[in-house]
């Protein structure tokens, strides 16, 4: 089940640190269900780790939202590299 935008905003607002480091999260990446994991998974990523993981998130089909709940658009260079 996809989270509502208000729930996504609330998660980012209340989180004091990212999943990957002690920095405050800049985005929430919602990973789709996958073999061996039958449910979506949220990743709270700081700006640095989001930029470093952007290509892998795109390939995995993750939905990414910023602190305002706005979908983060993947740059065309990532889409071209994946095709």
The whole-model pTM stands at 0.74
If phi > 0 it is left, if psi is from -120 to 50 it is alpha, else beta; for residue 3 that is beta
Nearest to 3 by CA among 43, 58, 46, 49: 43
Torsion angle of the four alpha carbons 67, 55, 79, 66, in this order, in degrees rounded to the nearest 10: 0
Per-residue pLDDT tens digits of the chain, which is 83 residues long: 455 666 666 777 778 888 889 999 999 999 999 999 999 999 999 999 999 999 999 999 999 998 888 898 765 554 444 44
């Amino acid at each position: 089940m996809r989270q509502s935008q208000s729930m996504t905003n609330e998660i980012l607002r209340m989180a004091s640190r990212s999943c990957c480091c002690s920095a405050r999260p800049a985005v929430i990446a919602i990973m789709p269900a996958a073999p061996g994991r039958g449910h979506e998974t949220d990743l709270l990523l700081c700006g640095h780790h989001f930029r470093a993981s952007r290509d892998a998130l795109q390939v995995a089909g993750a939905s990414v939202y910023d602190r305002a709940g706005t979908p983060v658009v993947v740059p065309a260079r990532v889409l071209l590299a994946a095709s």
